[in-house]
Amino acid sequence: MTLRRVITDEAPRNDNPYSQAVRAGHTLYVSGYGPVDPDSGEDVEGGIGAQTDRVLSNIEAVVDEAGGDGLDDVAKVTVYLTDLDDYDRVNEAYDARFSEPYPARVCVEVSELPGEVDVEMDAIAYLE
C-alpha cells in the first residue's frame, strides 16, 4: 500500500504535523478543515453558511489535487459543530454543494474547534 501526501495551495496549509490528505490505494482520507481562506489564511466571515461553504471548498480542492472529481468523489463526511442549533443552516449550505446520492455523514457537537470557528469537516473520498 502506498501512502502519499497531497499538497495544494487551493486549501489551507499549516505547520502542524499532518498531511492535507493521505491516499491509500483508491481511498483518500482528507484531514479536518475549518473555514480558512487559503489565500489570506484568515477565517471567513458571514456566518455558518459561508463557513460551511468554505470548508467544502477546501475539501473539494484537496480531492481535485489528488486526482479526483471534487465533491462528487466524497463518500463520507464528518461534520463537527460547536453549536447544533446551526445544524439546519449547515444542511442548507451542504445541500447546495452535494447532489444525490449524498455521501454518508456524521454530525457531532464539540465544545471547541481550533481558532474561532464554528464548523470543521473531514472526508473520505474514493478515487479511481
Catalytic residues: 107
Pairing, β 21-24 against β 27-33: antiparallel
CA atoms within 13 A on the CB side of 1: 8
All three cell numbers of 35, joined, read 473555514
Angle between helices 87-97 and 47-65 in degrees, nearest 10: 40
**Cβ pair 30, 58 in contact under 8 A:** no
